[in-house]
Amino acid sequence: MLVAGVDSSTQSTKVVLCDADDGTVIGRGQAPHPPGTEADPEVWWSALQQAGDGLLERAAAVGVAGQQHGMVALDEDGKVIRPALLWNDLRSAGAAAELVSEFGGPEWWAATTGSVPTASFTVTKLRWLATHEPANATRVSAVLLPHDWLTWRLLGGMGERSRAAAQPGPAERAGPERETPPVTDRGDAPGTGYFSPAAGAWLPDLAAAAVGHPVMLPRVAAPGETVGHTSWGAAVSAGTGDNMGAALGLGLEPGDVAVSIGTSGTAFAVSKVPANDPSGAVAGFADATGRFLPLVCTINAALVLSAAASLLGTDLDGLSALALAAEPGAGGLTLLPYLDGERTPDRPGATGVLRGLTTRNATRENLARAAVEAVLASLADAADRIAAACGTGPTSGRVLLIGGGARSAAVRQAAPGIFFSPVDVPEPEEYVALGAARQAAWALAGTPEPPAWPPRPAESYTGPAQPQVRERHAALRDDTVTWDERTGP
């Protein structure tokens, strides 16, 4: 039996076709998304059809893991009102501050929703819409996350009865002939900012307060549930967010920390208890299995490496070779990697800063090394914040390095010194899509727990700690206020 997993990320759609019993990948597809911080969801659907051509129709079950947070606003006919605002669209930073203040401050948000919302969260984008596009805001009847919308499309769309069935009250008794309503899962829902992962329930008053009126929210499916079927008869799982999919694909266990270097950078861990971090750095998400997934996200990750490579007139392999030719510490160069603003720490107006440049250390090698160390130091900070928020102290399990940036030899070799820990790098794989496929296999099996797929082979890296790199990074992070932050964009 075959199952398909979909990773609909910011940059592309990837599909893997797997054996349902052990996760062996037997087919792959990929299609790009246009760049930008907003997108017509139809682009995702077209990319899914292209990436899944010759694969999806062979699957007995399909699961979708999608980029978190985005706002897909639908009118009463189920039509998309405006291009979806994506997680990396920071125009709602002011709305985030407004909502945090309006509803009792950071402590209230952390205790109620598990997170203190930043510009990435859907709730802030709804408030931005109400403020800046009031005509569109009044048309909003339903709000979906990106993976919800793609799952809905796989199920054939949302008709009048589906919209009614998703509302509480008499419509719940509409009868078995009604169409499948839109659904989400407990893993992705906390990224909206109006869901309580601890209670496992929506907070609809928050969504209504953000956009100005009540809106329909999708049903929250159980982790291993089959939520419907495709036109060719394949079972469809609940789907989840991309980080939750990666955790499931990696087989992450309590004590492990996964660090992903992709378009964004993330550090996340599986926990049996919810996180509560009033500082807002740690998002208290849930995983795709019924546990919790404290997560820290940075805006700047692999694109910092790409920018440094372009600046040095080389490609990513060339950047890696240059960085490996430099000593740890980059000759005293330290890069603050907030090239596109930053989410953790919450500094949407920040820019990059290079400190320590002299005539003695001004080499291509040192600049390349500084870029690699900057990304790793930022993510090591993120891992430390998770340990502090969960009260676990230093990481007790594995540090797993994944994502496109983990393919860099310089990143792999520098990571142990900056994380102060051995680092495992699993073999390159589309772990988000793999997790979505594992969830699809779970829905197909109908078992209490997901299938026990064997872990992927991993290469281990060790090295001496480099505390001076972390110390210089922390000093630059804490001392610097960039021109953009002082004056605004």
Structure token digits, residue 112: 């109620």
> In 3-state terms, what secondary structure has residue 66?
strand
Structure token digits, residue 75: 């009118």
Handedness of CA 141, 143, 144, 150 (dihedral sign): positive
The Cα 425–Cα 421 span in angstroms is 13
Structure-token match 């009604």, residue found = 178
Q: Rounded to whole angstroms, what are the CA distances from 392 to 114, 287, 474? A: 17, 18, 22
- Between CA 99 and CA 87, with CA 95 as vertex, the angle to 5 degrees is 110
Structure token digits, residue 38: 């907003």
DSSP-derived pairing of the beta strands 235-237 and 226-229: antiparallel
Residue 30 has a CB neighbour count (10 Å cut-off) of: 16
Q: Rounded to whole angstroms, what are the CA distances from 272 to 197, 291, 392? A: 12, 5, 12
Active site residue 185: no
The Cα 59–Cα 204 span in angstroms is 36
Angle between helices 302-311 and 364-390 (to 10 degrees): 170
Nearest to 368 by CA among 340, 408, 397: 408
> In 3-state terms, what secondary structure has residue 272?
coil
In the set 7, 148, 188, 242, the catalytic residue is: 242
Q: Per 3-state DSSP, what percentage of the chain is helix, strand, and coil (rounded to 5)?
A: 40, 20, 40
**Consecutive H or E run containing 27:** strand 25-32
Nearest to 8 by CA among 49, 54, 36: 49
Just list the catalytic residues: 242
